[in-house]
Copies of this chain bind each other. A is one copy, B any other.
Amino acid sequence: MAGDKAVLLISCLDQRGIIARVSNHLYRLDCNIITSDQHTDDEDGHFFWRISFESQRLPVPEIRAELERSMDSLLPGLGLKWRLYDAARRDRMVLMVSRLPHCMSDLLSRRHVGELDADIVAVISNHPDLGPLVTPFNVPFTVIPVEKGAKAKAEETLLGELRALNADTVVLARYMQVLSGDFLRKWGKPIVNIHHSFLPAFAGARPYKQAHDRGVKLIGATAHYVTEELDAGPIIAQATTEVTHRDTVADLARKGKDIEVAVLAKAVRAHLQKRVLVHGNRTIVFD
């Protein structure tokens, strides 16, 4: 009974009948809907839909071709955007790191035990330190140093590397450099970052120091898509953990590591499963 699997993401203005029309259409194509999640934004009436389905007759590329012929006439006049992901095609993911290993090691480990639907095609760092920890996972480790005053050049090298790798997704797993707007525009594909605070509190540098100085009783971590404005992109996942007056800045960093790891893994997993849709500066994250 198992057929080809795919995920269909749809966003458009809401209207009566969208679900009936599309599910009917997929039914006629011999596709069996496995999961279906929808959301309508109360404020602007936008409709978001994620369907995972199994195609019993046609391979996914033929489903795609068919949808390209039919979707616009199926849902006309609604500003429709849609995208079909073939479950057989694994995302090509690049991790970028600096000197702190915890997020990188965690993602490599999760990939190793089959928990992430992606190939990690490279780890790129501005420092050589973490190389040995990558070795057992058989993933290439590349150092692209960022010299003072030569950031543009480093970003050019990085861009070439990412393109050569044909990467789909970049994950900044505690990469301690700010990527320029110029780089972001040229790259143009999703970049997930982990910031070690509960944004919007403590954006920018040294968030654990900021948190300690303010005397908060929780610290947080935030995974978000990178946009040109620092630490201001659409949030995918957040978590907090308790701290006390006993905790120094170093203790906050130690305790914070665990939620950074958890939040980044959750966000990356959701992203890879095409469960995250961006709507303005907010995200819809289906379960």
Contact = CB atoms under 8 A, between A and B. Distances in A.
Interface in A213-265: 214-218, 220, 234-240, 244-246, 248, 254, 258, 262, 265
Interface stretch (A38-46, A69-77, A81-89): A38-46
A28 to B, nearest CB: 8
A27 B18 CA distance: 9
Most buried by B among A202, A215, A238, A244: A215
A258 B262 contact: yes
Contacts of A105: 105, 109
Contact of A16 (B27, B102, B258): B27
Interface string A103-140: 00100010011010000000000000000110110000
A188 interface: no
B36 A245 contact: no
A15 to B, nearest CB: 8
Interface string A19-49: 1110110110011111111111010000000
A154 interface: no
A285 interface: yes
Interface in A199-217: 199-202, 214-217
Contacts of A262: 258
Contacts of A113: 100-102
Contacts of A19: 19, 23, 27, 33, 36
Interface stretch (A4-12, A155-163, A276-284): A276-284
Contacts of A175: none
B217 A238 contact: yes
A207 B26 CA distance: 40
Interface string A167-210: 00000000000000000000000000000001111100000000
Contact of A109 (B42, B102, B220, B245): B102
Contacts of A248: 42
A34 B100 CA distance: 30
B39 A36 contact: no
Top 9 closest A-B pairs, CB basis?
A: A215-B282, A20-B27, A201-B201, A16-B32, A245-B284, A20-B23, A217-B238, A240-B240, A20-B24
